[in-house]
Amino acid sequence: MKRVVVTGLGALTPIGNTAPAFLESLQNGKSGAAPVTYFDVTNFKTKFACEVKGFEPTEFMHKREVRRLDPFQVYAVVIADEAIADAGLDSEKLDLDRAGVIWGSGIGGMNTVESEVEGFAAGSGIPRYSPFMIPKMISDLAAGLISIKYGYRGPNYATVSACASASHAIGNAFDYIRLGRADVMITGGSEACVCKVGIGGFNAMKALSTRNDSPETASRPFDAERDGFVLGEGGGAIVLEELEHAKARGAKIYAEVVGAGATADAHHITAPHPEGLGAMQVMKTALQDAQLNVEDVDYINVHGTSTPLGDIAEIKAIQRVFGDHAYNLNISSTKSMTGHLLGAAGAVEAIACILAINDNFVPPTINHFTDDENIDSKLNLTFNIAQDRKVNVALSNTFGFGGHNASLVVKRLES
């Protein structure tokens, strides 16, 4: 097996529009939740979300191109640009047949579907759809756009597994490189579902917090008074590279990817297995793949969505997998700050783990006010304030509707 390292990062999140800005907000425990600005929420049960802020697409591409893309595709191209520049990749110096893109998006162009259907409904009944409607709505076009821009002719596709989509994309990209089938992969995920259909649909499921009087504290994983997740948007991009390939071109290396796991709950279309069986198995699988023991792990970035059932199921799984070592871990949910980026969550949270390794800290779980008697109070859930810690090995969990589970293991590079 080839060794796989991270050589570039890109981020566009509700708490920072670049990877360095994202890092600063993680260190400071910043909340990205605020009242929705994109549309009138008067009649919606939830009136807030974690929107991307201060982002102007035309600063990165021509307005004609922006009109031809869905926001999730704009986000993908912009953060891929950042990651590729950060990695110092030059297409003229790469074997483009061995450079690829695997991208995750749980829903794809929801904004496009909403606007096109609204336009039809308001019209004369004659179907007048944009010729760009289909390319704008399908999830795979993000990967396609990145490959077209940079000329990467290697593996190219999308992963769609709800909230585990980006983690599955990263795991697949990791496999292509370690199996010797690619030298460089651009991977990650993006999502843009802060729209009427997105909030209305999740409201109908009773999945979202309705804490409209205090949006900034609404995402409160593991708190006794949590009442649902906060919808977020944006994405994260990661450049994965074969170790010797990276060394040969003098690339800076953030961390090494050493393991990935994928399992299914086989239980329910939206609810997690109450005992966390799928979550337990996916962590075991990822650690076995990484050839690490539970005692090697320093930090777990949990799925931790701030839902009543999900948070407890994941904690049960962690305690069963890690046993007594669970009390030596730092555990945190960065969704308390970013909200839930759905199919992009795994990319942003993997980046949080990589940054934790590089900057020797653990991001906090903010908005903790009341202990949940069903959660072991002796666990270090890194409440409210970031903690200094040398993180050598970090585990990132993401779980999706349909029972899709993914875990990634990253570690400090050793020679």
pLDDT at 125: 81
Asked whether residue 147 is domain-assigned, the answer is: yes
- Is residue 254 within 8 Å of 7, Cβ to Cβ? yes
Catalytic residue among 50, 163, 195, 353: 163
Give yes or no: residues 292 and 213 share one domain.
no
Among residues 303, 353, 368, 404, the one annotated as catalytic is 303
Is residue 259 included in any domain, yes or no?
Answer: no
- Asked whether residue 31 is assigned to any structural domain, the reply reads yes
Does residue 289 lie within any of the structural domains?
yes
- pTM, two decimals, is 0.98
Q: How many domains does the chain have?
A: 2
Is 163 considered catalytic here? Answer: yes
Residues 284 and 173 in one domain: no
Residues 304-332 as b or e (16 or more Cβ within 10 Å = b): bbbbeebbbbbbbbbbbbbeeebeebbbb
Domain termination residue (choose one: 182, 216, 248): 248
CB atoms within 10 A of CB 248: 10
Q: Are residues 56 and 188 in the same domain?
A: yes
Question: Angle 71-87/141-150 helices, nearest 10 degrees?
Answer: 40
Closest CA to 106 of 167, 44, 36, 51: 167
Q: Are residues 138 and 207 in the same domain?
A: yes
Tell whether 255 is covered by a domain.
no
Asked if residue 350 is part of any domain, the answer here is yes
340 is catalytic: yes
**Of the residues 168, 245, 273, 340, which is catalytic?**
340
pLDDT at 131: 96
Query: Is residue 236 domain-shared with residue 330, that is, in the same domain?
Result: no
Domain around 57: 4-248
pLDDT in tens, 273-288: 989 999 999 999 999 9
* Token duo for residue 329: 């871990």
Both structure tokens of 220: 């409160």
On the CB side of 88, CA atoms within 13 Å amount to 10
Q: What digits encode the pLDDT tens for the residues 302-314? A: 999 999 999 999 9
One pLDDT digit (tens) per residue for the chain, 415 residues: 999 999 999 999 999 999 999 999 999 999 999 999 999 999 999 999 999 999 999 999 999 999 999 999 999 999 999 999 999 999 999 999 999 999 999 999 999 999 999 999 998 788 999 999 999 999 999 999 999 999 999 999 999 999 999 999 999 999 999 999 999 999 999 999 999 999 999 999 999 999 999 999 999 999 999 999 999 999 999 999 999 999 999 999 999 999 999 999 999 999 999 899 999 999 999 999 999 999 999 999 999 999 999 999 999 999 999 999 999 999 999 999 999 999 999 999 999 999 999 999 999 999 999 999 999 999 999 999 999 999 999 999 999 999 999 999 999 998 7
Same domain, 35 and 71: yes
User: Which are the contacts of 218, defined by CB distance < 8 A and separation ≥ 6?
Assistant: 33, 48, 209, 211, 227, 230, 306, 367
CA–CA dist 135, 132 (Å, integer): 5
Claim to verify: residue 14 and residue 150 sit in the same structural domain: yes
CATH number where 59 lies? 3.40.47.10
In a domain? residue 67: yes
217/355 same-domain check: no
Same domain assignment for residues 155 and 300: no
- Which of 221, 248, 275 is the C-terminal boundary of a domain? 248
Whether residue 294 lies inside any domain: the answer is yes
